Amino acid sequence: MYVVFLALSGTVFAIVLYLIVPTGSAINSVFTGICGAYVVSWLAGLVTPGAPAGAGVREFVLFAILHTVVSEADLLAAIVLGRSVTVVGDVVYYLIAVIMRTKGFDASANGLSSGNQSSNP
């Protein structure tokens, strides 16, 4: 499941970067590298103690890896916008969970529970 999440996260960051960088740039040929750099930076933020959601660490590592590929101004804009997209995504998923909880969504009744539960009527 993490592989899918990391691939999707790296792709979202690459799209944000492509939207910011001027057309005709040479970054089209390094899509996989951009996604990989994002994954490495995300993992660095994950394993750093005291950094909630890798704040600061993820951005530093991403900048350190990609600053030779993309202009610094474009890269910084993409990093800030990428963090903003991540925060908005987290808030949206939180709101969906709150709505599901208030509407009485029962994951076990819909076959979405991951635990071993007995079926006592």
pLDDT given for residue 28 in this prediction:
73
C-alpha distances (whole Å) from 79 to each of 53, 85, 94, 99, 120 are 14, 10, 23, 30, 50
What pLDDT is recorded for position 117? 52
What are the mean pLDDT values of the chain's consecutive 10-residue runs (121 residues total)?
88 90 74 91 89 85 92 93 91 93 71 55 51
Per-residue pLDDT, 120: 54
Name the pTM for this structure: 0.75
- According to the model, what pLDDT value does residue 112 have? 61
pLDDT in the model for residue 88: 93
Q: What is the pLDDT of residue 69?
A: 87
Q: Give the pLDDT score at 116.
A: 53
Query: What residue spans define the domains of the chain?
Result: 2-102
**CA gap 57, 73 in Å, rounded:** 19
CA distance 89 to 84: 8
Cα distance between residue 15 and residue 1, in whole Å: 21
